[in-house]
Amino acid sequence: MSRTGRQEPVRRSSPATPRAGNDPETGSAHPGRVGLGPLEGYTIGITADRRWEDQAELLRRRGARVQHGPSIATQYLACDDALREATASVAARPPDYLVATTGIGMRAWLETAQAWGMGGPLLDALGPARVVARGPKSSAAVQAAGLTVWETSPNERLDQLLPLLLDEPLQGRRVAVQEAGAEAHDITDALRAAGADVVEVPVYRWRMPDDTAAALRLVEAACDGRVDAVTFTSAPAVQNLFAIAAGAGRDGALRRAFNASVVATCVGGVCAGAARDEGVGDPVEPAVGRLGLMVRALSERLEPRRRCIVLAGVEVVVQGFAVDLGDRVAELPPLEQAVFALLAERPGAVVPRSLLLQRLWGSSAADPHLLEATITRLRRRLGPCGAALRPSPGRGYRLDVAMPAVASSAPGRS
């Protein structure tokens, strides 16, 4: 409202409006851009060790910040005698069935066999076999090797393939199982019980990383609300992160965070099942286990958090720590973001100083100058829109917020 009591017109910036320079006090420059990226303003934790840079790049393309805290280490067994013996056994006595559990495992096995001079004999032995694949990744690896997939699990779980195999005449038949975790042991036990001659092919194993410091930092960031989501690309990554948290007495806090504001994001059904087993109520999972689809599913889960509001007559978009002010994007540091969020939760209402001090510094008796300095920096970072942040002498602060007359039509970049 103006001093005369009239409603001030809402100003909407043109997409062509130049954005301000890279001033740490005002925000980052993005000249000529339109809207925020789908993940801009969010910090995403990554727990993977293998190909984590590829995942980080997918997230950054959508605007996210990334925190890497690997909770898993992939140990390849190319020098392991058990893998060499299993490969020689399969090449010498071709299997009737092949169970391909992971894409990485199948590729690593075939590449290792090639390095040992057994690549040709191994493919010859696998050619006539009926190949069952756990999911699209293992299926793609099998097909890339020139083999034919007989059946694929409908939900990327081995337990869906087991009834199919058990319907086959397995007595005395040879089955090669490319192992990947405890789930593969369950299927090999059932196959042996049905009379099959099972050859276990141990290509790699997952273990706890040697250094868990980065994973523990990610746990603390999730518990403190400094990340908006954490991604998992395997069930052991979920289990290990909770084990690391338990070692620090933070597993309960981590579980609460995942069931509150932090989004547990899983690449597929097996991984999501592990998250549910750990007490995570609603993990994100794409319909098909692909990194790109996982990132898209995460973007869709976070999209409703975007808010369009009017500050000092200017329509702005708030998404995580990013505030699109039209001519520039202000990126709020954690304290300023927390103050802004608390005030925005109660638009137009005075938020008591004691509550702000308690929520941000852990005590209502904290030095009020800390809050005043944070408010001053926040006002400066918001530029003219900072005028909407008003003091109430002796009481606290309020944020004068209005809703846009028409919902913003500037979606984020896909």
Q: What is the pLDDT of residues 78-87, one digit of tens each?
A: 667 889 999 9
Residue 17 has pLDDT above 50, yes or no: no
Among 304, 324, 351, where does a domain finish?
304
Where does the pLDDT of residue 51 fall: very low under 50, low under 70, confident under 90, or very high at 90 and above?
confident
200 and 221 in a single domain? The answer is no
Q: Residue 38 falls within a domain, yes or no? A: no
Residue 91 has pLDDT above 60, yes or no: yes
Of 57-71, 177-191, 388-402, the poorest mean pLDDT is in 177-191
Among 278, 287, 270, 274, residue whose Cα is nearest residue 159: 270
Which residue spans within 84-223 are E strands per DSSP?
A: 97-100, 130-133, 149-152, 174-178, 197-201, 204-207
Cα 402 to chain centroid distance, Å, stands at: 33
Among 252, 280, 304, where does a domain finish?
304
Strand-pairing partners, residue 27, are 23
Strand-pairing partners, residue 97, are 130, 175
Q: What is the mean predicted confidence (pLDDT) over 1-6?
A: 37
82 and 197 in a single domain? The answer is yes
pLDDT, tens only, 212-269: 999 999 999 999 999 999 999 988 999 999 999 999 999 999 999 999 999 999 998 8
152 and 223 in a single domain? The answer is no
pLDDT, tens only, 283-318: 999 988 788 999 999 999 999 999 999 999 999 999
Q: Residue 35 falls within a domain, yes or no? A: no
Q: Residue 34 falls within a domain, yes or no? A: no
pLDDT, tens only, 157-175: 777 888 989 999 999 999 9
Where does the pLDDT of residue 156 fall: very low under 50, low under 70, confident under 90, or very high at 90 and above?
confident
Cβ atoms within 10 Å of 338's Cβ, excluding its own: 17
What does pTM read for this prediction? Answer: 0.76
Q: Give the pLDDT of residue 287.
A: 86
Q: Give the pLDDT of residue 19.
A: 40
Q: Give the pLDDT of residue 183.
A: 57
Among 257, 277, 304, where does a domain finish?
304
Q: What is the mean predicted confidence (pLDDT) over 327-335?
A: 93
Residue 112's domain is classified under what CATH number?
Answer: 3.40.50.10090
Residue 30 has pLDDT above 60, yes or no: no
Q: Residue 36 falls within a domain, yes or no? A: no
198 and 85 in a single domain? The answer is yes
198 and 83 in a single domain? The answer is yes
**SS3 assignment, position 98:** strand
Domain, as residue range, for 58: 43-72+209-304
Residue 8 has pLDDT above 50, yes or no: no
85 and 137 in a single domain? The answer is yes
Q: Residue 413 falls within a domain, yes or no? A: yes
400 and 332 in a single domain? The answer is yes
Q: How far apart are the first and last CA of the chain?
A: 36
Q: Residue 57 falls within a domain, yes or no? A: yes
281 and 326 in a single domain? The answer is no
99 and 153 in a single domain? The answer is yes
Q: How many domains does the chain have?
A: 3
368-382 vs 353-361: helix crossing angle, rounded to 10? 90
